[in-house]
Structure 1
Amino acid sequence: MGPATAMNLGRLLTQTARRLPDHPALVWRGQAWTFAELDARVDRLAQALRGLGVAKGDRVLVHARNSNAMLESLFACFKIGAVWVPTNFRLTPAEVAYLGASSRAVVMLRDAGFGGHAEAVRAESRHLRQVVALGDAGPGELDYETLLAAATPPPPDHEAEVEYADPCWFFYTSGTTGRPKAAVLTHGQMAFVVTNHLADLMPGLTERDASLVVAPLSHGAGIHQLSQVARGAPTVLLSGEKFDPAEAWALVERHRVSNMFTVPTILTTLVRHPAVDRYDHSSLRHVIYAGAPMYDADQQAALQKLGPCLVQYFGLGEVTGNITVLRPDQHLPENAGSCGVARTGMEVAILDESGRRQKPGEIGEICVRGPAVFAGYFENAEATRKAFLGGWFHTGDLGMLDARGFLFITGRASDMYISGGSNVYPREAEEALLTHPAVAEAAVVGLPHPKWGEAGIACVVCHEGMDADEPMLLAHLAPRIARYKQPLRIVLWDALPKSGYGKVPKALIRAKLAEEGIGF
């Protein structure tokens, strides 16, 4: 073993269960688990996974909606030193098969109704040894609850010894190449992230608080819940996969919820829903939103309705939400359009193309360094090298810092757009469209959308003598890529506008759409 620089992150639950055994840890669908009960279930799952041959460093693929099993699988993986590989439950079987194969997962945990996803992973991956199902195990699969019941509880302090750089989570993030890459999050890095979230996003968090989850635990919400477990605050889940604002507000009142992590589109939906006036939400102290810029009018409406409890941050999976923060008291007119200042212990710089720092007010690429930066992309040395050029992590976003150090994002270096808080990379939809026999060329751009922030419009050219229409092409996309990645509109053109080099710049596509009055 190396120097004593890291604790096993699974001990966040172990420690809290010892300190607050009878305190509620998780509430879902009218059922509550205490920290002692949750920890006992996690320990049984840890033993069950060991029994299936999962060893330190092995990957466990989890394709599930928010549930107790999501949190249990996260902490069980951490405790045995395995790597948690969660997916967005909205992904198609083909997309999940790629994640299973590229991570070389040895066990898959799947939610009810996702048998087809498990079959796709089995077909694609040579490494998958076992599938554990929640409630509808098919032939050759194990039932989750049966597995837990049969497991022998491990002795105290069974958590695997880990070092700072040992991986605990593969956070899949799409690149401009279209294929998702696994950002490797480590025990040491994530310990810093949890501490930083407590310091910068939710100062003063204790077991007297409560947190409502309104986003998938597979991504930012899962990171957010680690801080709740560390401090002993109960986590409250919505009952179903479909977001229900009325239920959310009822839960805020019932559990005196003090914090939640969300994205601007969900926050705006919550604030505009009539239920906001039917329930008491005075307990809210930290309503944290991230993932996309928030329109000023929506921000003002939220402040007016909820009071000074909005906390904004800018972050990426690779820096695990840890780049900037705009506190409630900083939501002021002079900071309009800003996503705040560098997080504690982190440094943000605006660099030009040669890697030189820009002066305040000058635009360049937003780059960051500090202990929250990930360890690199799994088995992708070239992508890691590019991301870390010059000793900084390059976000691919463009922006500027003012003289006070407040960051303003001005655009994106890539063509990515953000729809409903999710990053969408046009190339994935473009490549899927090109698999249709009639499609010769395709270009997708994100344009402002009143509900989703941004949404995609695909511009398609057909092969000579062949025809397609919008419904046909949307039907073609449905089984191939997740719904949130699909363009909402498809327009058919005779030709795509091209530059002198024969390329199809997205700026020319946008200009032609504007000229034709096409948008949302």
Structure 2
Amino acid sequence: MTKGPRGGVGPISTRVMNLAHFLTQAARRNPQDIGFVWGERQWTWAEMENRVNAMAAALIAEFGVTKGDRILVQAANCNQMFESMFACFRIGAVWVPTNYRQSPEEVAYLAKASGACGMICGAAFPGHAKACREAAPDLGFIFAIGEADFGEDYDRIVERFLGHACKSVAVDRDDPCWFFFTSGTTGRPKAAVLTHGQMAFVITNHLCDLMPGTGRDDASIVVAPLSHGAGIHQLAQVAHGVKTILPPAEKLDVTVIWALIEKWRVSNAFTVPTILKMLVEDASVDLFDHSSLRYVIYAGAPMYRADQKRAIEKLGPVLVQYFGLGEVTGNITVLPPAQHIAEDGPEARIGTCGFERTGMEVQIQNDRGEEAAPGMTGEICVIGPAVFAGYYDNPEANAKAFRNGWFRTGDLGHMDENGFLYITGRSSDMYISGGSNIYPREIEEKILLHSDISEAAVLGIADPMWGEVGIAVCVARAGSAVGPDDLNRWLHGRIARYKMPKWFVFWESLPKSAYGKVTKKLIREELEKRGELLPDGRKVSA
């Protein structure tokens, strides 16, 4: 050990394991085990390691990629996309995945904002490749996943370089490995910089807090884009030699998901509440054996109590919730299966998203950055090794995101005396009616307890008398005749009068983001598009 400048023990080195070594370890220990399944195709860990080595070697030798360079990836879920993550990590490059549902213009912005030197693009997205080439002058190369006019096929490049050895580049704890773009629900997406050291902690934490005991005999199914939370979840599977099952089609087919769970004896899955709701409400849930499931992990948005109870009824004690933004890589709180209680009551802690993740500290703070008392609403702030390194090339956003070392999530909530966190909603979702703060989530929870309502979202709109009032956008279950008067009567006595929405509208479905989330921004835009809001934000009178 060496003495630090103040007499303490200072670090000899900040070097950490390159994350690509997770794949190397799996290939060494279990070379012939199945590592990845996509439709009818399978790859062993040894085959995956060889393919990643080949692509890593090609990126260096043929495309001139060096440590720190950014590689944009626009592709639907596929084995090549997953491999590209490890290839980038291996050579010290930064993986910059997009959500493949984004438009060419949106992806072109990501190419320019990230300063990407190259692009790997699915053959189905020629417009995206063209837009990126025009918008990003530093984009030196584009190659395709599949046959395409805009570049050579990924697999042909791999075939040319098979057999080439490519050792993992040495990396330090704070070397970036992944630009995790925010969903941009309140403006342009920002690139959250994830690092090798941070992500090593995240993977360890996922295995510790979300799916303890997960190992070689397990299997994990992908039901979300690998570009974001699902990619992190699958990286954790690789770390413990767990096979990944990728459904054959881009579009969610609930029956196929349950069939794959039965076939491969899937033990864990990561998804979002909207997809989990679809899975357990579909009749096919009862047609296949899903007893192998030990952990069904959901995140990305709170799960309403009514949906939670239905999932517990269908799947048993397997639900795991975690709360954590991309900037904290999912590592803020966890609610394990034992805390998912089906019966209402004090032990159920209805509405909680759990307690602090191992090694992380959460604090509710007021506007001055002071810790709030238990039960008091404030901003959810967090510190710990899972917090990202900051936003790329965005000092203004970084200044707003941190205060006294704490990362400010922008979410509002409170914590009880036992350390369980309750999310009230995004600070941007709160509205003020007649001088009182209104938190939409509380109202949405009550609406969804009505047996004829499938989805609901409440947001504040302008009102000349009260400043703002609530409008509830609801989706009725098939065959239901529920209407505004029914919901008015239902809510009477369940919430305070000042919290009652002034308007109720019914749609066939709620718009969802590319990540499967219901966002207030999309609902407001849809209200405007349908002509239900005036230019000043007020409701068009019925």
- 1:178-227 CA-partner distances (Å, limit 9, x unpaired): 11110000000000000000000000010111000000000000000011
Task: Give the Å deviation of 1:46.
Answer: 0.4
Task: Give the Å deviation of 1:492.
Answer: 3.0
- 1:387-446 CA-partner distances (Å, limit 9, x unpaired): 01121000000000000000001121124999xxxxx9x9xxxxxxxxxxxxxxxx9x99
Task: Give the Å deviation of 1:374.
Answer: 0.1
- The alignment status of 1:492 with 2:531, answered yes or no, reads yes
Q: Is the 8 A contact 2:173 2:195 kept in 1?
A: yes
CA change 1:307–1:323 in 2 (3 A) is same
Aligned counterparts of 1:215 and 1:4: Cα–Cα separation in 2: 34
Aligned to 2:127: 116
Q: Aligned match of 1:270 in 249, 266, 279?
A: 279
Q: Aligned match of 1:129 in 135, 140, 160?
A: 140
- The alignment status of 1:48 with 2:87, answered yes or no, reads no
State the secondary structure of the residue aligned to 2:414: strand
- Mapping 1:44-123, distance limit 5 Å: 44-51=54-61, 52-123=63-134
- 1:360-393 CA-partner distances (Å, limit 9, x unpaired): 0000000000000000000001111110112100
Q: Is the 8 A contact 2:50 2:162 kept in 1?
A: no
Aligned counterparts of 2:318 and 2:269: Cα–Cα separation in 1: 10
Q: Is the 8 A contact 1:90 1:483 kept in 2?
A: no
Aligned counterparts of 1:494 and 1:41: Cα–Cα separation in 2: 53
Q: Aligned match of 2:36 in 23, 26, 31?
A: 26
Q: Is the 8 A contact 1:194 1:226 kept in 2?
A: yes
- Mapping 1:58-457, distance limit 5 Å: 58-139=69-150, 141-151=151-161, 153-155=163-165, 158-175=167-184, 178-332=187-341, 333=344, 334=347, 335-415=349-429, 448-450=473-475
State the secondary structure of the residue aligned to 1:399: strand
CA change 1:241–1:29 in 2 (3 A) is same
Percent identity over the alignment?
Answer: 56
- 1:95-125 CA-partner distances (Å, limit 9, x unpaired): 0000001111111111121011000000001
Aligned counterparts of 1:182 and 1:176: Cα–Cα separation in 2: 14
Q: Is the 8 A contact 2:15 2:170 kept in 1?
A: no
Task: Give the Å deviation of 1:447.
Answer: 5.3
Amino acid at match of 1:227: A
- 1:294-331 CA-partner distances (Å, limit 9, x unpaired): 11111111001100000001010000000000000001
Aligned counterparts of 1:39 and 1:449: Cα–Cα separation in 2: 48
Task: Give the Å deviation of 1:152.
Answer: 5.0
Task: Give the Å deviation of 1:493.
Answer: 6.6
- Mapping 1:437-516, distance limit 5 Å: 448-450=473-475, 487-489=525-527, 490-492=529-531, 495-497=534-536, 509=538, 512=539, 516=541
Structure 1 outlier segments of 4+, above 2 Å? 152-156, 174-177, 415-418, 445-452, 482-497
- 1:249-287 CA-partner distances (Å, limit 9, x unpaired): 000000000000001111011001111111000000000
Amino acid at match of 2:337: P
Aligned counterparts of 1:341 and 1:451: Cα–Cα separation in 2: 33
Q: Is the 8 A contact 1:2 1:163 kept in 2?
A: no
Task: Give the Å deviation of 1:137.
Answer: 2.1
Aligned counterparts of 2:254 and 2:476: Cα–Cα separation in 1: 15
Moved more, 159-168 or 386-395: 386-395
CA change 1:447–1:172 in 2 (3 A) is farther
Aligned counterparts of 1:166 and 1:446: Cα–Cα separation in 2: 46
Moved more, 163-172 or 333-342: 333-342
**Alignment gaps of 5+ in structure 1:** 419-423, 427-442, 453-477, 498-503
Task: Give the Å deviation of 1:2.
Answer: 7.5
Aligned counterparts of 2:360 and 2:533: Cα–Cα separation in 1: 49
Q: Is the 8 A contact 2:258 2:288 kept in 1?
A: yes
Q: Is the 8 A contact 2:53 2:165 kept in 1?
A: no
Aligned counterparts of 1:446 and 1:395: Cα–Cα separation in 2: 26
Task: Give the Å deviation of 1:57.
Answer: 0.4
CA change 1:26–1:189 in 2 (3 A) is same
Amino acid at match of 2:229: G
Aligned counterparts of 1:360 and 1:298: Cα–Cα separation in 2: 27
Amino acid at match of 1:316: L
CA change 1:8–1:286 in 2 (3 A) is same
- 1:155-187 CA-partner distances (Å, limit 9, x unpaired): 36x100000000000000145651111000000
Q: Is the 8 A contact 1:47 1:153 kept in 2?
A: no
Task: Give the Å deviation of 1:488.
Answer: 4.0
Q: Is the 8 A contact 2:379 2:409 kept in 1?
A: yes
Q: Is the 8 A contact 1:113 1:136 kept in 2?
A: no
Aligned counterparts of 2:518 and 2:277: Cα–Cα separation in 1: 21
Q: Is the 8 A contact 1:176 1:415 kept in 2?
A: no
Task: Give the Å deviation of 1:345.
Answer: 0.2
Task: Give the Å deviation of 1:292.
Answer: 1.1
Task: Give the Å deviation of 1:5.
Answer: 3.8
Q: TM-score, normalised by structure 2?
A: 0.79
Task: Give the Å deviation of 1:450.
Answer: 3.9
Aligned length: 451
Aligned counterparts of 2:476 and 2:49: Cα–Cα separation in 1: 40
Aligned counterparts of 1:152 and 1:236: Cα–Cα separation in 2: 24
Task: Give the Å deviation of 1:130.
Answer: 0.8
Aligned counterparts of 2:258 and 2:357: Cα–Cα separation in 1: 30
State the secondary structure of the residue aligned to 2:112: helix
Q: TM-score, normalised by structure 1?
A: 0.82
Structure number with greater CO (CA < 8 Å, separation at least 6) is 1
- 1:115-160 CA-partner distances (Å, limit 9, x unpaired): 1100000000111111111112215x2221111111153336x100
Aligned to 1:39: 49
